[in-house]
Structure 1
C-alpha cells in the first residue's frame, strides 16, 4: 500500500512539473546584431547622430575610451517588463586575442522590429586592460547571460 501511494505521488509530481512548462523553448533566443548590407560590419552609429531609427549609413570607425559610445542595432527580442540594457552583455574581441566586456547603457526607442542598444566602448572593470584602436574588432552580444553563437559575431 505504501509503495502504491509513493508511486501515485511521484506520478502526480511529474505530471504537474511537465504541465508547468508552458514555453516549448525555455532558453532565451540569441540576440542578432543587424549589419550593413553585404559588408559583415555591424550596423552602429554615434549616439549624437541617432535619428530614432536604424541608420541607412552606419559609421565605420569608432574609437575606444572612457567616454566613447556607440549605438548597436539588434533584431527585436521579447523583453519582459522592467528588463533594460543590463540584460545584455556586449563583448569586443580584438586582433590581439583579448576580449573586453563593454558596458550596456540604455535601450533607445526605435522601430518595432529593432532594438537600439547604447554601449560604452570601455571595459568598466578593466580586468583585461582596455580596448585599443587597432582596426577591425569582433563584437557580439549575449542576452540574459546566454551564449552567443560565433556565426552571429560582426566586425566593428
Structure 2
C-alpha cells in the first residue's frame, strides 16, 4: 500500500510542477527589463578600451554607500553635453563651460577647470576617465579631474546619486 502511494506521488508531483497554474507564474517570473541601445554602446566601448589610469587625476571617493545603479551611471555618462551617444557623435558639442548628464540614480556634473575654457572632451576620453575613476572608487559617489578635454586644461567632474 505504501509503495503504491509513493509511486503515485512520484508520478503526480512532476506533472503538477510542469502544469503550474497561471497564478504561480505571476509570482515566480522575473520582470522583463528593456535595456536601451546606449547601454550596449558603453559596454562595447569599455570592452574595446583598456583601462588607462592616467586618464584621471585627483579622484575622491565622496560617499561609497551612495547607491548608484550601473546602468544609470552609463546612461548618464552619455547624456553629458546634450548627448554624446551614437556613432556620429565623437565629442562634446556646443563648447559649454559646464554641463551635466543625468539618468535614474546618477548625475554627472562637468566643468572646465580653467577660467574661460570650454569643454570639448571626446567620448573616448570621457569613457576612459570615468572608467579609471571607477577603478579607484568602485561604488558610490565620486569626483575627479579628466586630463585634457577642455579648450585649455582639464575637465573636473562629480558623480552624485539622485
- TM-score, normalization by structure 1: 0.29
Between Structure 1 and Structure 2, the one with more helix by share is: 2
Between Structure 1 and Structure 2, the one with more strand by share is: 1
- TM-score, normalization by structure 2: 0.29
Q: Rg bigger for which structure?
A: 2
